[in-house]
Structure 1
């Protein structure tokens, strides 16, 4: 099969970026989201490959995990209201962001998640512009898809206003269940694809 020039160039770029990541070490990823959204459960599922009963995170957790065929250094930061101002410190200069949402949340809770997600995106825009670098890619994990009241991905995308994010903010939304692990590896594959897409983006990045 003969590949077009554009596809050959894209494949070469992906190979080079993959080799660079091997030299530089695993990407730095930060898990954020409201409290009780399932961030720590997702992290421990990725780490150990099985369900681990997690207690609410007051500060942070950090684990090296392998998922979607790639190595990651994942920071899981507490999501209660008094801890959220600290997200900025953990997300500064990160390679990627994962925002975990409880898909079964009511309207008020989803609105709270939307506000926090967009606040974080604005902060990342300011930080990225100040350091002349692209915004880190954003993966929204629609967790708890096993619950009867879970909203489907297309509804959550609207509820969270993902289409209102700046064009320079690469993002994706992935349904998952941290308890069973369903969808998590596919989500991390999607995050890797977002990272490659972000690195290929032309300037300006604002």
Structure 2
């Protein structure tokens, strides 16, 4: 018998994953969870997938990005700790304008305010793919988001699993830091803490 204690509990984070149809949301999540890419089907309504990392578990709710589904996205908004928005790097100017509208419409929603945002520029390895810098500029993220939340735009490919794992590992650190800040804020605002300050 070994005297080793139980493994420390990993925190669970509820994450919202959205983006236009065909941007590769389901494929990215399949790669991260070790599923067969060839069996991935487009998400029509929503799907939930748990992705395990060494330091935490992400419970990702992915919403379908079709034209008939997007008007109902906000019905699925709930208590989340982070947002992943996926963009097709080679999207046309017209599609990018649609991305911009849908992204900021979501970010302005009361239940999503202030949450860490990871914007993934997917299919970065295809011809005509825009760089993360180009997408940042095109969507005017500096101007529209500024310092209202943690955010980052990163290029990725579903054919680079290690790269995706690294991107998510860094995003997980943002989630952890945000959680710690929130816990500290709640401690400082607790009645007991306020009372001790007055004594």
Gap change, CA 1:28 and 1:127, over 3 Å in 2: closer
Q: Distance in 2 between matches of 1:193 and 1:172?
A: 13
Aligned equivalent of 1:153, options 126, 132, 144: 132
Select the residue among 148, 154, 162 that pairs with 2:141.
162
Where structure 1 has 5 or more consecutive residues not aligned to the other structure, the ranges are 1-18, 129-133
TM-align CA RMSD: 2.3
* TM-score, normalised via structure 1 length: 0.76
1:127 correspondence with 2:143: no
Distance 1:68 1:122, change over 3 A: farther
Number of equivalent positions: 175
Aligned runs of 1:24-173 on 2, under 5 Å?
A: 25-48=11-34, 51-67=37-53, 69-123=55-109, 126-127=110-111, 135-163=114-142, 164-173=144-153
Separation of aligned partners in 2, 1:194 and 1:148: 31
Contact (CA 8 Å) 1:141, 1:175: kept in 2 or not? Answer: yes
- What's the offset of the Cα at 1:69? 4.8
Cα distance in 1, alignment partners of residues 131 and 54 from structure 2: 23
Cα displacement (A) at 1:192: 1.3
Equivalent in the alignment of 1:11: none
Structure 2 contact 77–111 (Cα < 8 Å) conserved: no
The structure with higher relative contact order (CA 8 Å, sep 6+) is 1
Indicate the structure (1 or 2) with the bigger Cα radius of gyration: 2
Deviation at 1:68, TM superposition (A): 6.9
Q: TM-score, normalised by structure 2?
A: 0.78
Runs of 4+ in 1 over 4 A off after TM superposition: none
